[in-house]
Structure 1
C-alpha cells in the first residue's frame, strides 16, 4: 500500500496530474475533451460543434497539446485537414460520464477490407451490442493483412466480405468512420470519427499490428460508453 502511494506521489507523476487538471480547469477545454472522448475531430469541426471562434479553439487545443492531453494527425484524404485525438490514458486522473445509445454500431472505411472489418470484429468481442461494417467503395475481398492480424489476436474474418454502406446503413446505427477519406466523403452522415492510419500498402511491416492496437484501444473505450437504445 505504501509503495503504491509513493508511486502515485512521484514528482513526475504529480506534475503530470497537475498539468492535466490545470488544462481541464477551463470549461471550454473540458467541452472539447468531452467531444474527443468518443472520437476524433478537426479544429473546424470542434469550432462548429461548440460554437467557438477558430482562434479560440486553436488556443485551447495548444493548451491541451502542451499538457499531453491531445495530439494531431494530418488527414490521409484532404491533406489540408488535421484531426485532433485524445491521447490514450491522458485522462487517467479524470473520469468521463459521456454515454451514447444505439441499436447497432456500424464501422465505416473506404474499401471495407481492413480497418472497419477489424473494428467490427473487436467490437463483437467487447460488447453484446450488435456491430457490422461497410465501405463507401468496397473492395472485392478482405485484405490478407487484416485476416492475418485478426488471426494472431484470436479473431476471425473468414466469413466476412466487403459491403456497400448504402446497403447496410439503417436508422438507429451509431456510425464510426475509421478512415479519413470515408469521413470526408460523408459530411452529411452523423458519425464519430477515428483517424486510424491505413495499413494497406504501408511500407511499415507492422502497420496492421499498429492499426489493430489503435482500434482495440478505441473500441474498448467506446464500448464502455455505449448502451443499447
Structure 2
C-alpha cells in the first residue's frame, strides 16, 4: 500500500470515527437539509451549549463542517456540511425522513438572483412545482443570474421579483437561500441555505459559485421531498 492510499484510509477512519456518536449523527442529519447557527442547533437538539460545542469541535476537526459569517446579522455564523465529503454522507445514508410538498418556494432578500437560480435548478431535477420570492423584492432579475443560467443551460426567464406572501408561508415548503431572508422570517422557513450573495462581486465566477452551491443543495433536497398530490 502506497502513502497516498494510506492517507486516504486514515482520512476515512477519522471521518467515520467522528460520526460514531448519536448526537453527531443527528447534527449531520440536520445539516444535510439546512444550515444552522449553533444557537439554532442547540435548541433543535435540546442540549447545552458546552456539549454542543464539544460535538461541533469533533466534526470540525474531521473536516465535516464549515462555518460562515452571516451576511445579515454578523454576530451569527452558520454551520454547513463540507461539500468535499458528500461521497461519505451518501454512503452513510443520512436519516432524514421524507417530507411532502405541493410546491417549493425559494426565498432571498431581493428575489433577483439566488432564489431564481435555485428555482431553475430545482425544475431541472424535480417535477414538484417551484417558484421564488423575496422578503424585500428588487425591481428586476439580475443579469448576472440570467447569464449564469444560460451558461449552464438552465431555463431562467427575466421574471419580475415578487414579495413573499402569507399564502406562501401557510401552504408551501419555504427554503431561504440568503441569510437576511432567513433572519427576517425568524423560523418560519423550513430550511435555510447560507449561500454567499454573488451580486456585490458581480463576476461570472461569483454567480457560478453560487449556482454550484445551490445545485448541490437542490440535489440533496429533491431526494427527500415528495409530492403532496401523489
Contact 1:107–1:133 (CA<8 Å) still a contact in 2?
yes
**In structure 1, C-alpha distance between the alignment counterparts of 2:169 and 2:190, rounded to whole Å:** 13
TM-score with structure 1 setting the length: 0.92
Contact 1:69–1:91 (CA<8 Å) still a contact in 2?
no
Count of paired positions: 223
1:77–1:116 CA distance, 2 compared to 1 (3 A): same
Q: Which residue of 1 aligns with 2:59?
A: 64
Note the alpha carbon deviations across 1:171-197, whole angstroms, 9 max, x for none. 341111000001011114142000000
Q: CA deviation at 1:61?
A: 0.7
**In structure 2, C-alpha distance between the alignment counterparts of 1:116 and 1:14, rounded to whole Å:** 39
**In structure 2, C-alpha distance between the alignment counterparts of 1:153 and 1:18, rounded to whole Å:** 36
Tell me, which stretches of 5 or more residues in structure 1 are unaligned? 1-5
Q: Does 1:218 align with 2:226?
A: no
TM-score with structure 2 setting the length: 0.91
Q: Does 1:52 align with 2:37?
A: no
Which of 26, 29, 34 is the equivalent residue of 1:34?
Answer: 29
**In structure 2, C-alpha distance between the alignment counterparts of 1:170 and 1:82, rounded to whole Å:** 25
3-state SS of the aligned residue for 2:127? coil
Q: Does 1:100 align with 2:95?
A: no
- Structure in which a larger fraction of residues adopt helix: 2
Note the alpha carbon deviations across 1:74-114, whole angstroms, 9 max, x for none. 00000010000011252523222422221111100000000
Contact 2:101–2:227 (CA<8 Å) still a contact in 1?
yes
**In structure 2, C-alpha distance between the alignment counterparts of 1:221 and 1:34, rounded to whole Å:** 12
Contact 1:129–1:228 (CA<8 Å) still a contact in 2?
yes
Aligned Cα root-mean-square deviation (Å)? 1.8
Q: CA deviation at 1:224?
A: 1.1
3-state SS of the aligned residue for 1:84? strand
Contact 1:20–1:91 (CA<8 Å) still a contact in 2?
no
Note the alpha carbon deviations across 1:25-59, whole angstroms, 9 max, x for none. 11111111111010100000000001011111111
Q: Does 1:19 align with 2:14?
A: yes
Q: Does 1:176 align with 2:175?
A: yes
